[in-house]
Amino acid sequence: MDNNNLIKMANNIGAFFKSEPDRELAIQGIEQHIRNSWEPRMRKQIIEYVQQGGNELLDIVSEAVLHLAKKA
């Protein structure tokens, strides 16, 4: 899948959870959503994007992806 599509989808998830006042809960929600809803190739691609310094994601999304990478 094209990185731009993944970035857009991930940022949309992040925008939804951004209203959560507890930042850690928001990050956990994003991580859980990506883990449950995205196929493994998509998860791998977004993790690689973040690990290679991709910077088009919302901060909370990048953090969630890094948490996801630790558990992958």
> pLDDT tens-digit profile of 11-55?
999 999 999 999 999 999 999 999 999 999 999 999 999 999 999
Angle at 15 between CA 7 and CA 38, to 5 degrees: 50
Which residue range(s) make up the domain with 58? 3-71
72 — pLDDT class (breaks 50, 70, 90): confident
Q: What are phi and psi of 46, to 5 degrees?
A: -70, -35
- Count of domains for the chain: 1
